[in-house]
Amino acid sequence: MTERKLLILFGSQTGTAQDTAERIGREAKRRHFRCRVEALDSYDVANLINELLVVFVCATTGQGDPPDNMKMFWRFLFRKNLPPTSLCQMDYAVLGLGDSSYPKFNFIAKKLHKRLLQLGGNPLLPAALGDDQHDLGPDAVVDPWLLALWDKILALYPLPPGLKVVSPDVCLPPRYTLHYLAEDSLHPNSSILQPAPPRTLPSELHPFAAQMVSNQRVTAESHFQDVRLIEFDVTGSGITFSAGDVVMIQPQNCPEDVQQFCQLLRLDPDKWFLLEPTEPDTALPPHLLQPCTIRHLVTHYLDISCVPRRSFFELLSHFSTNELEREKLQEFSSAQGQEELYSYCNRPRRTTLEALWDFPHTTSAIPPEYLLDLIPRIRPRAFSIASSMLAHPGRMQILVAVVRYKTRLSKPRRGLCSTWLASLNPEQGDVQVPLWVKKGGMKFPADPDTPVIMIGPGTGVAPFRAAIQERVAQGRKGNCLFFGCRQKSKDFYCQAEWEELVTKGFLTLFTAFSRDQEEKVYVQHRIRENGRLLWELLNSHSAHIYLAG
C-alpha cells in the first residue's frame, strides 16, 4: 500500500496562509497522514518531482506579487527548461488567500494552479480563492473546499483498517515538548542573546544588532501624532542600500506585557528550557535560540499583542476546565461563530493577551508545551529607509509614525514595533535593534538627466528623502517633491533640510498643509495647480513619477 504522506507548502506574508496551512496539517493528522508543513522557500524544490500528494496554500501580495517566503520557489517553477512531465505523478490542490478589492485578486494561486497543470500535475479540485472581503473572511471559501478536498484525498488514500478519523474533541499532541533545565546544568557561557554571527550579510535568521544613535520626535509636542526620525549605526554590518530599499526590524514585547502574560499562565520567566520536536519530521523554530528562558520566548518570539485567529480559540477550548468559557471558545472556533468572533476580536483589535484575560480559568490551565502551537511568532516590520549612504556613510535613518488609536476598548491600541522603537532612548545607554535590509520596489532612474517627480504626503516622504539625498550627492538637479501634512508648524518633517535644498537649486518643492486654512488643501490640489509644469517634465524630459503613502 502507498505510504499515506501529505506535504503542505505555504507562501505567507502576514501569517494567514501559514495559519491555514497549519490547520490543514492538523486535519491531516486527524486522518492519520504523515504530514509536513513548510514554507515554500524552506523546502528543497528539486524534491517536488518525487512528491505524490501536495497542498499549496499561498497569499497574493501587493500588485499580484508572491509573498517573500516563496519568491525563490516561484522563480524556479517558471524556468523555461522544466519538462512538461516533471510533476506527472503529483496529485495537488491549490488554496489561495487574497482580497477582491485588489485588481489582481488571488493572482498567485491562479497562476500556480495553471503552472502545476502545465508541468503535468493532476489537480484534485479547482483552486480555492479565499477572499478577505467576504463577511466571513476567507473561511467562507476555505471550509467547504477543505471538506471536498478530504473526500477526494480519502478516496485515493483510504484510512488504514481499524482506524477512524480522530474526533475534533480530541486535542492533538503539541509540536514540541519543553524540557526544563536545572539551574546548575547551564554552562556560564550559554548566553542566548549573542550567538556567534556567521560572516554573512544580515538576514531574517541572522539580523544585525544595530546601535541606535538618535531617536528624535519630528512633530510638535502639541500634535496628536508622534513621528520619529530614528538613526542607526550600521558600520561593520556589510549592509548596503540605495534609495527605495526597505529595512526590516524585529520588534519585541514590552516588559509589562511579558510579566502579565507569565502571571496569567503561572510561568516562571527565569526558567530555562530546551525544545524537542514531538515528531521526527518537525523542524525546530529557526528564530528561537536554544536553550532559552521563558522570558526570552515571550519577549522576542510569541506575538502576544497580535489579534488572535480562529485557530487560537479552537486550541484554547481543549484546555478549558470551565464550562462557560469552553462553550464560548467553541463558538468562536465554529463556522457559525465567525461573525461573533469578528466583533469580539477583529473589529476592536483585541490582542491575544487581552483575550487570555477574558478566559482566566482556561488560561491558567494552558500546558506550556502548547505555547508555540497557540501563539504565532512576532513578525518583522518593514520601513522605508529615509536616508542615503552617500549623505550619511555607515548610518541609516527611518521615519516612524507611532501607531496609537482608539477602538471601543478602553485602552488605546498601540503598534507593537513603533511603540517599542519610540520607547528606546539611546541617551540613557546602549540600545540595539535587530535589523536587515531588503530590496525595495522603487527604482530611481540611472540617467542623471531624467527628472524625478515625487509625491509623498506624511511619512510617505521617507523613501523620497533617501532619493533626494542620493541624487543631490550625485549632483543631480531635476528633483520635484510634493509634500502634504496637516499644519506647517506641527508636522512639516525635515522642513529646514528641504528649504536649504530649494535655496541651493537642487529641489522644487510644493507643499499642501491641509488644516492651515478654511478649505482643506491636499497634494492632489497642488498637482492640479502645477499641471502645466508636470506635463512639461513628463512630455519633454521623460520624467519619472513616484508615489508613496
Give the DSSP per-residue string, 194-216.
-PPPPSS---SSS-EEEEEEEEE
**Lowest pLDDT segment from 220-234, 257-271, 278-292, 304-318:** 278-292
Q: How confident is the model at residue 344 (pLDDT cuts 50, 70, 90)?
A: very high
Residues 120/86, Cβ–Cβ less than 8 Å: yes
Across 282-309, average pLDDT: 94
pLDDT mean over 158-182: 94
3-state secondary structure of 262: helix
3-state secondary structure (DSSP) of residue 185: helix
* Contact of 29 with 166, CB cutoff 8 Å: yes
Helices (H) and strands (E) in the chain, counts: 18, 21
CA atoms of 392 and 390, how far apart (whole Å) = 6
Q: Which residue, 313, 537, 309, is CA-closest to 445?
A: 537
Q: pLDDT tens digits, residue range 132-157?
A: 998 778 988 999 999 999 999 999 99
Per-residue pLDDT band at 198 (split at 50, 70, 90) = low
CA 118 to chain centre: 31
Q: Report the range of poorest mean pLDDT among 39-48, 129-138, 196-205, 437-446.
A: 196-205
Q: Give the three-state DSSP class for 118.
A: helix
Average of per-residue pLDDT across 504-531 = 96
The angle, 0 to 180 degrees and rounded to 10, between the axes of the packed helices 495-503 and 462-473 is 30
pLDDT band at 501 (very low <50, low <70, confident <90, very high): very high
Mean pLDDT along residues 366-383: 96
12 or 335, greater pLDDT? 12
Q: Mean pLDDT across the stretch 32-60?
A: 95
**Strand 91-98 relative to strand 53-59: parallel, antiparallel, unpaired?**
parallel
- 345 in Cβ contact with 308 (< 8 Å): yes
- pLDDT (mean) for 336-340: 91
Averaged pLDDT for residues 524-546: 97
The reply to whether omega before 161 is within 30° of 0 (cis) is: no
Instruction: Inform me whether the pLDDT recorded for 194 exceeds 60.
Output: no
C-alpha cell, 368:
506550556
Phi, psi of 184 (to 5 degrees): -80, -10
Give the pLDDT of residue 518.
94
Q: Are 210 and 435 in contact (CB under 8 A)?
A: yes
List the chain domain ranges. 5-156, 271-374, 452-547
CATH fold of 452-547:
Rossmann fold (3.40.50)
Q: Centre a 10 Å sphere on the Cβ of residue 158 and count the other Cβ atoms it contains.
A: 11
**Strand, coil or helix: what is 84?**
coil
The pLDDT, as a whole number, for residue 3 is 84
Average pLDDT over residues 198-218: 92
Whole-number average pLDDT of the chain: 94
Q: State the amino acid at position 34 in one-letter form.
A: R
Contact residues for 528 (Cβ-Cβ < 8 A; gap 6+): none
Region 518-537 average pLDDT: 96
- Give the pLDDT mean for 374-401: 97
Looking at residue 161, what is its pLDDT? 93
Say what the pLDDT of residue 1 is: 55
Give me 381's grid cell. 516590520
Residue 203 neighbours by CB under 8 Å, 6+ apart: 436
Return all residues near 102 (Cβ < 8 A) that are at least 6 apart.
60, 63, 64
Q: What is the pLDDT of residue 191?
A: 46
Rg (C-alpha) for the chain, rounded Å, is: 26
Q: What is the pLDDT of residue 192?
A: 45
212-224 as b/e, with b when 16 or more CB fall inside 10 Å? beebeebbeeebe
Tens-digit pLDDT profile for residues 349-362: 999 999 999 999 99
Q: Is the pLDDT of residue 187 over 60?
A: no
pLDDT in tens, 94-112: 999 999 999 999 999 999 9
Q: What value does the mean pLDDT take over residues 437-442? A: 92
Q: Is 544:444 a contact under the CB 8 Å cutoff?
A: yes
Please tell me the number of Cα atoms within 13 Å of 158 on its side-chain side: 4
- Give CA 217 to chain center in angstroms: 26
Bridge partners of 506, per DSSP, are none
What pLDDT digit, counting tens, does each position of 268-289 carry? Answer: 999 999 999 998 878 889 889 9
Same fold across 5-156 and 452-547 = yes
C-alpha dihedral, 447 to 453 to 458 to 462, nearest 10°: 0
Q: Give the strand pairing for 227-233 and 246-249.
A: unpaired
Q: What fold characterizes domain 271-374? A: NADPH-cytochrome p450 Reductase; Chain A, domain 3 (1.20.990)
pLDDT reported for residue 110? 97
Which CATH code fits 5-156?
Answer: 3.40.50.360
